[in-house]
Amino acid sequence: MTAEVRREHPIALRALPAALRTLPGSLRLPADPRLPGLLTLLAVLAGVGYRLALLRHDAPPTNSDEATMGLAALHIARGQEFPVWFYGQSYMGTLDAWLAAPVFAVAGPSTFGLRLPTLAMYALFLLLSWRLTVRLTGDHWFALLVVTLLALGSDRIVKNQLIAGGGYPEMNVAGVALALLAYDLAVGRPGRRLPRWAAWGLLGGLMLWVDPLVLPYVGATGLVLAAYRWRELRGRAGALLSLGALLGAAPLLVDSLVAGRNPLAAVLTASGAAQPAGWADRLYGGLVLGPALGMGFCDPGRCAGWQLWWSAALPVLLLAAALLAWRTLRGHRVVDAGAAAAGPADPVDTPGAVAPRVGAAVTLALVGAAVATVAAYAVSSAAGLTPVESARYLSCLLISVPVLLWPLWRAARRRPATGTGQRRPGRGWAAVGRGAAVAVLVATLGTATAATAGAIGRVDAVHAAELRHTALVAALREQGVRHVYGTYWTCNRLTFASAEEVVCAVVDDDLNPGHDRYRPYRAAVRASTAPAWVAPEGSALAARLDQQPFDLLTVDGWRVYLPHR
């Protein structure tokens, strides 16, 4: 334990069992927190630098969904429109667009500018994860391990963290912030308590608007507050929390009242609830493929068999974390039960008096939220129908990484029993347990590193594809083309890349109207006297258009069909 933790939790240390007080144990590390603090800072810089380098090379690859958010940001920056929801649907709030709009107003629209706020949110996620880990465990070396793992980034992870497609970059940082605020408020940490209550409510309300995937973490950390601070919630704290929640969810509430839309029904429809999927496919996608892919242990777009080991380890780690936290709760009944529910002015309610119990409660909350997240995904049709792409729905599990790895870290650092020449019963099994814990920790870092290397190996191909798309935009401008038809995954990306100089309307492979998220684009293209057609080379749409009487312009990777002049 560090000197900082001793100062913050003097009573808690006296209540801790001897086994905890004797850590670090057999895996000896310097007790001075300055060295792990410096190494943690380097890990944060490495994680942010890695993602910044990806952005500079146009990775991860953008798409029309992200471009739709970029167009919303462009409209906000111009004062043209102020969308509440992702264009074309009545769920998934446009917080990404509102954050990027000031960047666009200053530097103009670009994918890089759209992703600068998401990069900042990732950096904040790392810092808050470090603080939450130190709060819960008091171990700066373990916090370094957590930050190092989160600094790595497989293809799926960096997509979730950097692509401004709606909700995913915000969820993890908001979830960790909610857990940290809940811990500080529940232990009675003095200073800025009312602003903290308001901040917790604001974040919870925002997440209700932005994306419901993080709601298990909102609800679980809220239960911790209700269990330990119910008296305080009956006063000004509860009023400020409610006011913050209403403010955060205001876009959702106002739109529901004015437009009569039901976001919950829209979310259920989008999740594939009405589409059939076999239970075998759902369970495989949700419990076998999903955790390994969604938590960053797989190569781009696929999971090799050996990378799926994490999905088998996850339920064991969840159970171990829950049992450890439950034992801590039961072991600290000596703390006055009334102190946990009292207000911060109560003299017996010091942070150190309830810190172990609150830490265990927050751990249980993070475990419960992770279980709820996996369960909800596993029973959804999305897990069976589109398991690879839908694994993004498990991105919130990264919030629970500190509590998942803590039992392993404790086992790896447990001090071996010492005797006077006589072999103690169970000593061999304890050594086996320590060795197994070390092996799992090494495998966790190793598998995540291998997946990160796979993502890095794909960067050149992604950059080349983006250069081809830039050449397409330049060719359309050179030809004076301002209105085109294309596929869904072509249109909004093309419109955003050209800053709406080229407007695209969606068609399917049979040349019928497709899903236009922003309907004015279809009206503009339909009103054009001579629209062009754009299709990726080798696509079904290109094969169909090859049979039509157009003048053909080829750009590397693309085919542009111009009307006869």
Query: What integer is the mean pLDDT of 45-65?
Result: 97
Residue 77: other Cβ atoms inside 10 A? 20
pLDDT of 335 strictly over 80: no
CA distance 328 to 356: 7
Comparison of pLDDT for 6 and 94, the residue scoring more: 94
More confident residue, 325 or 20: 325
pTM: 0.89
Least confident range of 416-420, 474-478, 542-546: 416-420
What local confidence, expressed as pLDDT, does residue 11 receive? 33
What mean pLDDT is predicted for residues 221-250? Answer: 95
Read off the pLDDT band of 256 (50, 70, 90): confident
Q: Is 274 exposed, middle or buried (0-12, 13-18, 19+ CB in 10 A)?
A: exposed
pLDDT of residue 187: 93
The per-residue pLDDT for 423 is 55
H or E stretch at 485: strand 483-486
pLDDT in tens, 91-100: 889 999 999 9
Q: Where do the domains of the chain lie?
A: 3-415+428-456, 461-562
- Interior angle at CA 294, CA 245 and CA 438, nearest 5: 110
The torsion angles phi and psi of 506, rounded to 5 degrees, stand at -85, 140
Match 């401008």 to its residue by tokens: 477
Has residue 27 got a pLDDT over 90?
no
The pLDDT value given to residue 275: 65
3-state secondary structure of 292: helix
Specify the residue for token string 């308001």: 198
- pLDDT value, residue 124: 98
Q: Are 498 and 538 within 8 A, CB to CB? A: no
Percent of the chain whose predicted confidence (pLDDT) is above 90? 73
Q: What's the average model confidence in pLDDT over 375-399?
A: 92
CB atoms within 10 A of CB 80: 10
- Write down the pLDDT at residue 342: 44
Task: Give the pLDDT score at 128.
Answer: 98
Q: Among the residues of 342-426, which ranges form H helices?
A: 351-378, 381-385, 401-412
Least confident of 305-319, 336-350, 515-529: 336-350
- One-letter amino acid identity for 346? D
Tokens of 501: 């100089």
Alpha-carbon gap, residue 441 to 280, rounded angstroms: 30
SS3 552: strand
Lowest-confidence segment of 333-342, 349-358, 444-453, 505-514 by average pLDDT: 333-342
* Predicted local distance difference test score (pLDDT) of residue 235: 92
Give residue 269's pLDDT. 58
Residue 13: per-residue pLDDT: 35
Question: For the segment 103-152, what is each residue's pLDDT rounded down to a tens digit?
Answer: 999 999 999 999 999 999 999 999 999 999 999 999 999 999 999 999 99
466 has a pLDDT exceeding 50 = yes
pLDDT the model gives residue 7: 40
Angstrom distances, CA of residue 513 to CA of 87, 315, 505, 525: 17, 46, 8, 11
Q: Which two tokens stand for residue 276?
A: 């059939």
For position 355, what pLDDT does the model report?
A: 87
At residue 349, does pLDDT exceed 70? Answer: no
Confidence of residue 419 (pLDDT cuts 50, 70, 90): low
Mean pLDDT, rounded, for 153-170? 92
Q: pLDDT value at position 418?
A: 54
